[in-house]
């Protein structure tokens, strides 16, 4: 490819190229990234709908040398344009959500308010429409032989993508890096809540044979009951337990291998940025004390790759720069997490 021959990987990232300053077009890239600027049901702070744009900007500062996957970028990464219609719809529905949440926090019942009941129905219907849109977009890419990653947006966004993967892979697991279990049933009345993503996956996609959660430290009684009653379909490595192992002398290598041993051959990675220590993502929607350094998760990914398991897809979500779009650390960390995910995706 002539553009690649003239491309200097050691030079400044050029925005007229694509993600990470790479000079690939969609048809040439092995890995396609789908941005989903959606944050309709976030429970606390907004901003993640701008995540794909902010990550794209920060990605221009990522050096392409990755000692874990040397020259992975040469296989081609391409981020599709952000769909402005999706973003506009998200912004409108988010206003509806805030009215509903405000009413609930004041002690009101949505069912007793005709206007808010209508808005809740509209939100849930559009959540289904987004699910269908993501399914169609990713399904078409997969049928073209592309590898696919998704950039949210809130954590509700990958449901359609995981469904599209289930058309191809009949037995796979999800490796979820997260502070939250996300097993709530229609949290706050929202069928496609960001806090309900893994519940919806387990209910709607039987091809997901196992959900392995890492770093969970914020959950409710119902979620814990669902984990305990899952007959092994859900394996949760709680942050509290992982830290206790480390404090008592266990090595991170041993812990990572224990996590990997619970996974089958095909693995989908769902990376909620709030799984990290909030010092690395201070503007994410619902930060929780605890979590990991990026090096710990990257080491887990390295051992996962060395085990011979295959990453069949991934999402990165809940990256928000808040009021610091130009200099917030969240997008900087998000871009580097994304680059690592991309490299392992094409590593084979």
Q: What whole-number distance in Å separates Cα of residue 108 and Cα of residue 100?
A: 9
> Is 236 within the bounds of a domain?
yes
Phi-psi map region of 76: left, alpha, beta (phi>0 left; psi -120 to 50 alpha): left
One-character DSSP codes across 157-181: TTHHHHHHHHTT-SSEEEEEE-SB-
- Rg, the chain, Cα only: 19
| Of 5-14, 233-242, 288-297, 338-347, minimum mean pLDDT range | 5-14
Query: Residue 9: is its pLDDT beyond 90?
Result: no
> Is 12 within the bounds of a domain?
no
Query: Residue 5: is its pLDDT beyond 70?
Result: yes
**β strands within the chain, DSSP E:** 31-36, 77-79, 147-152, 172-177, 208-216, 234-238, 266-272, 310-317
Per the CB < 8 A criterion, the answer to whether 170 and 205 are in contact is no
In this prediction, residues 6-24 reach a mean pLDDT of 88
> Is 71 within the bounds of a domain?
yes
Q: What whole-number distance in Å separates Cα of residue 184 and Cα of residue 193?
A: 9
Q: What is the three-class DSSP state of 264?
A: coil
> Is 10 within the bounds of a domain?
no
| Of 180-184, 188-192, 309-313, minimum mean pLDDT range | 188-192
**Residue 347: exposed, middle, or buried by beta-carbon count in 10 A (0-12, 13-18, 19+)?**
middle
> Is 136 within the bounds of a domain?
yes
Q: What is the three-class DSSP state of 149?
A: strand
Q: What whole-number distance in Å separates Cα of residue 77 and Cα of residue 70?
A: 14
Q: What is the percent of the chain where pLDDT is above 70?
A: 98
In this prediction, residues 172-183 reach a mean pLDDT of 98
Residue 33, domain extent: 26-346
Domain count, the chain: 1
Structure tokens belonging to residue 52: 């794909």
Q: How many residues does the chain have?
A: 348
CATH code at position 105: 3.40.800.10
Which H or E run contains 345?
Answer: helix 329-346
Q: What is the three-class DSSP state of 215?
A: strand
Which residues, 6+ apart, have CB-to-CB distance to 8 below 8 Å? none
> Is 2 within the bounds of a domain?
no
Per the CB < 8 A criterion, the answer to whether 259 and 331 are in contact is no
Instruction: Look at residue 324 in the predicted model and tell me its pLDDT.
Output: 55
> Is 7 within the bounds of a domain?
no
85-141 pLDDT, tens digit per residue, is: 999 999 999 999 999 999 998 999 998 999 999 999 999 999 999 999 999 999 999
Q: What is the three-class DSSP state of 135?
A: helix
Q: What is the three-class DSSP state of 119?
A: helix
Q: What whole-number distance in Å separates Cα of residue 83 and Cα of residue 36?
A: 8
Instruction: Look at residue 294 in the predicted model and tell me its pLDDT.
Output: 98
Q: What whole-number distance in Å separates Cα of residue 107 and Cα of residue 191?
A: 21
Q: What whole-number distance in Å separates Cα of residue 144 and Cα of residue 150?
A: 16
Quote the pTM value.
0.96
Among the listed residues 41, 36, 52, the one whose alpha carbon sits nearest the alpha carbon of residue 320 = 52
> Is 100 within the bounds of a domain?
yes
Q: What whole-number distance in Å separates Cα of residue 148 and Cα of residue 146?
A: 6
Q: What is the 8-class DSSP label of residue 212?
A: E
In this prediction, residues 196-216 reach a mean pLDDT of 98
């Amino acid at each position: 490819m002539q553009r690649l021959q003239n491309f200097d990987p050691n030079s400044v990232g050029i925005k007229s190229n694509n993600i990470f300053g790479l000079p690939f077009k969609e048809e040439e890239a092995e890995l396609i990234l789908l941005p989903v600027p959606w944050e309709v049901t976030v429970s606390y702070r907004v901003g993640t709908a701008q995540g794909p744009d902010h990550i794209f900007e920060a990605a221009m500062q990522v050096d392409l040398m990755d000692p874990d996957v040397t020259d992975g970028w040469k296989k081609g990464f391409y981020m599709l344009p952000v769909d402005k219609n999706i973003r506009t719809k998200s912004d409108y529905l988010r206003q509806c959500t805030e009215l509903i949440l405000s009413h609930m926090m004041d002690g009101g019942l949505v069912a007793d308010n005709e206007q808010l009941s209508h808005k809740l129905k509209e939100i849930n219907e559009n959540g289904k429409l987004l699910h269908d849109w993501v399914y169609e977009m990713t399904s078409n890419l997969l049928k073209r032989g592309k590898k696919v990653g998704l950039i949210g947006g809130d954590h509700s966004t990958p449901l359609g993508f995981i469904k599209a993967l289930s058309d191809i892979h009949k037995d796979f697991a999800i490796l979820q890096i997260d502070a939250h279990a996300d097993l709530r049933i229609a949290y706050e009345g929202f069928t496609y809540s960001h806090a309900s993503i893994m519940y919806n996956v387990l209910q709607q996609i039987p091809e997901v044979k196992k959900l392995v959660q890492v770093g969970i430290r914020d959950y409710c009684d119902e979620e814990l009951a669902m984990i305990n009653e899952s007959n092994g379909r859900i394996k949760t490595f709680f942050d509290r337990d992982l830290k206790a192992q480390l404090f008592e002398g266990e090595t991170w290598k041993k812990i990572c291998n224990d996590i990997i041993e619970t996974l089958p051959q095909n693995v989908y990675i769902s990376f909620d940025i709030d799984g990290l220590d909030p010092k690395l993502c201070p503007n994410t929607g619902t930060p929780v004390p605890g979590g990991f350094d990026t090096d710990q998760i990257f080491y887990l990914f390295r051992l996962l790759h060395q085990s011979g398991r295959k990453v069949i897809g991934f999402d990165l979500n809940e990256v928000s720069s808040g009021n610091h779009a130009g200099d917030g650390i969240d997008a900087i960390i998000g871009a580097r997490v994304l680059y690592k995910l991309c490299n392992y995706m094409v590593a084979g």
